Structure 1
């Protein structure tokens, strides 16, 4: 399809080229031959009367004009995706759609697995693609590559809508045979034990729970640091170590691993799990339906 003389398929090619900055990789991403991608770049250069990408050394770099175009092209593609995904009616029983969701392994295991199980019955044509968070997650949401990001608000973007899904509390978890659980927990007892902490991603981002412990000025003896929430229970079994865990995850994992949990013996703030989506998706009734399903699963 052409609009004002431009083949709109070329916008997708330009978006990918500006992201990967390599003709061969862009061709692989779009399932095209290298010669076809080179031809697309040539047509884009002719239409915009600009080189768009220039070779310097072994890499391609966008021209100043291409950098100006990049955000507009991405917004155009996101808006087009929204247009195609939006209808006046959404019937989950017959809908055929993929939702891409970024959430931690805690969110996936304790809430989203239940959503997937329910959708298998009521929405068999809906496909959920779960992606673990990493440093580029916010950028991917901003570019419209994701449908939903689930996270505490401090990790979300202020430029896109967000809404609360549920409130999570934290507990102290440990091995089921740890003698500390044979009597009421005390603050002194908790912090005299060794602890397991969680740091996420290559930049070792501190989690909400561990960050709150730091802000409360408690001195913990960290004996192990793991890179996912699901690894924590396995580090507790057979030891006297403790961990601050999400209550939902601790309850679920107690059915599979020999751990138990108890209420924190000191004041601790609740964690608010939020859903964030691109600002162009506010009227996407399919996405709003999915958010309602996640909220109901968390409540259950």
Structure 2
């Protein structure tokens, strides 16, 4: 379909090209051949009278014109996506829809896993596509690539709506055979022990717990760092190491592993887990249903 001479299919190609900054990567994402993607870029260049992407070294970079155009294209595609998602009435029992969620393994284990059995029975046509949090998460929400990002509030962007999913407290965890947990921990014992820490994403960002500890001025002796909250029990077993863990996750993992939890020996801030989505998805009936489902599950988790 053409509008004022522009093949509207090229808008989707433009959006992916700007995100990937690579013809071959954009082709793979759109399930096209590389020659077809190159042809789409050539047609975009001809229509707009701009290079769109220019090669520098071994990489491609958007032109200033393309960078100015990109937010407008994403807005248009987001509004079209919302229109298609809201055609007719949303019926979770009969719909066939994929929701892409950005969520840590902690959120998956504590909130999403308990939903899976229910969804398979009540909403068999719905698919949840789960992606681990990375530094690109906010950009994927802004680009409309992801439907929902669940994250602590300090990762949330101001330009798109968000709402509270739940508040979470933290506990100290260790192996059930750890003698340090035979009595209530003191701050001195806690800080003197070896610890397991968590770093998230390719840039190894601090988890909420480690970030809070740094702000409070407490320095732990980290002996092991992991990328996954779910590996913490394995790294604690048979040792005297300790770790900070979300209370919901500690309760759930203690059913599977020899894990013991204690309250922290000092005041610790509450973590606010938020749900963020693109502005154009505010009236998305399917996303509204999913958010309410996640909220109800978080209340019983």
Tell me the TM-score range normalised by the shorter chain.
Answer: over 0.9
Does the CA contact (< 8 Å) of 1:116 and 1:128 recur in 2?
no
In structure 2, how many angstroms separate the alpha carbons of the residues matched to 1:296 and 1:121? 17
Unaligned regions of 5+ residues in structure 1, if any?
none
Deviations 1:251-275 (A, max 9, x none): 1111111111012222111111100
Contact 1:172 1:244 (C-alpha < 8 Å) held by counterparts:
yes
Q: Could you say which residue in structure 1 is the equivalent of 2:101?
A: 101
Between the aligned partners of 1:267 and 1:61, the Cα distance in structure 2 is 47
Greater CA drift, 26-35 or 244-253? 26-35
Compute the TM-score of the two structures, normalised by the length of structure 1.
Answer: 0.93
Give the CA deviation at 1:55.
4.4
Aligned to 1:90: 90
After superposition, the C-alpha distances for 1:245-300 in whole angstroms (9 at most, x for unaligned) are 10111111111111110122221111111000011111111101101111111111
Partner of 2:11: 11
Please state whether the residue corresponding to 1:283 is helix, strand or coil.
coil
**Could you list the runs of 4 or more consecutive aligned residues of structure 1 that deviate by over 6 angstroms after TM superposition?**
none
Q: Secondary structure at the match of 1:138?
A: helix
The CA deviation string for residues 204-229 of structure 1, in whole angstroms up to 9 with x for no partner, is: 21111122222222232222221211
Alignment of 1:157-172 (within 5 A): 157-172=157-172
Distance apart, 1:136 and its partner CA: 1.2
> 2:22 aligns to what?
22
In terms of mean alpha carbon deviation, does 108-117 or 38-47 score higher? 38-47
Superposed, 1:1-300 pairs within 5 Å as 1-56=1-56, 58-87=58-87, 89-300=89-300
Relative to structure 1, is the Cα distance of residues 60 and 259 closer, same or farther in structure 2, using a 3 angstrom cutoff? closer
Assess if the C-alpha contact under 8 Å between 1:196 and 1:226 holds in 2: yes
Q: 1:186 to 1:284 in 2, by over 3 A?
A: same
Mark the CA change 1:254 to 1:39 in structure 2 (over 3 Å): closer, same or farther.
same
TM-score with structure 2 setting the length: 0.93
How far 1:27 sits from its partner (Å)?
2.7
Query: Residue by residue, what CA displacement relative to the aligned partner does 1:126-155 show, whole Å, maximum 9, x if unpaired?
Result: 100111111111111111110000011101
Root-mean-square deviation (CA, aligned residues, Å) is 1.8
Cα distance in 1, alignment partners of residues 158 and 18 from structure 2: 25
Counterpart-to-counterpart distance in 1, 2:220 and 2:57: 50
Q: Deviations over 1:168-225 (max 9, x none)?
A: 1111101111123322333233223221111112222111112222222223222222
Is 1:141–1:148's contact at 8 Å kept on the other side of the alignment?
Answer: yes
Give the distance between the partners of 1:89 and 1:246, measured in 2 at CA. 37
- Greater Cα shift, 239-248 or 84-93: 84-93
Q: Per the alignment, in what secondary structure is the counterpart of residue 91 of structure 1?
A: coil
The alpha-carbon deviation at position 83 of structure 1 amounts to 1.2
Q: Distance in 1 between matches of 2:261 and 2:130?
A: 28
Q: Aligned partners of 1:56, 1:246: CA distance in 2, in Å? A: 45
Q: Relative to structure 2, which stretch is displaced further, 11-20 or 128-137?
A: 11-20
Aligned residues: 300
Cα distance in 1 for partners of 2:73, 2:60 equals 19
Query: Do the aligned partners of residues 220 and 29 (structure 1) sit closer, same or farther apart at CA in structure 2, a change above 3 Å counting?
Result: closer
